[in-house]
Amino acid sequence: MTKKEIQKLIRTLETYCGDKGLRYTPPRRITLEVIAASKRPIGAYDVIEEMGKVTDKPKPTTVYRAIEFLQEHGFIHKIESLSAFVACHAGHNHEGSQFIVCNDCGTVEEVHLCHLPKDLQKKVDNTGFKMAHWNTEIHGTCQQCQA
């Protein structure tokens, strides 16, 4: 994300917290800034390192709590297969996430379909399952890395 986009995202967080009666605090703000500024998915301990450059180096707990908060409220997503985090690019809360991950360079593209593909939806419906959220991660080699 560009610096401008990050600033906008941070303002969105501030507004969101105000509206919901949640607190807009330094750990939450800085964690989001760091994740949004990263070109690739960033691990929690790398967030700690980055945060250490602008404040006292935080304890894991601090960052994990901020991450949990930001995830719950849709500002970031976890790429499970990498144990790493990216800023949400969709601009609104959604129950499904989809990522295309290059195994070579590690870059990730968020796809963002609004609905679970219907073959899967059918299966979910048939079994009486009540879906909370879903995630798809597609691995392979991006165009650049094939050259």
Q: Rounded distance, CA 140 to CA 127, Å?
A: 31
Pairing of strands 96-102, 76-79: unpaired
Q: Which does 56 bind (CB under 5 to 8 A by kind): DNA, its own copies, none?
A: DNA
Nearest to its own copies of 32, 84 (CB atom)? 84
Q: Is 136 in the site for its own copies (CB under 8 A)?
A: yes
Nearer to its own copies by C-beta: 27 or 106? 106
Report, in Å, the least distance between residue 9 CB and its own copies: 23
Query: Are residues 126 and 40 in contact, defined by beta-carbon separation less than 8 angstroms?
Result: no
User: Residues 46 to 105: which contact its own copies by CB under 8 A?
Assistant: 80-81, 98, 100, 102-103
CA distance 109 to 107: 7
Q: How far apart (Å, rounded) are the C-alpha atoms in residues 62 and 1?
A: 24
Q: b/e string for 64-83 if b means 16 or more Cβ within 10 A?
A: ebbbebbeebbbbbbbeebe
Which range binds its own copies by CB under 8 A, 7-15, 24-32, 63-71, 128-136? 128-136
Closest CB 127 distance from its own copies, rounded Å: 6
**Which residues of this protein are in contact with DNA, per CB under 7 A?**
17, 22-23, 25-28, 43-46, 56, 58-62, 64-66, 69, 83-84
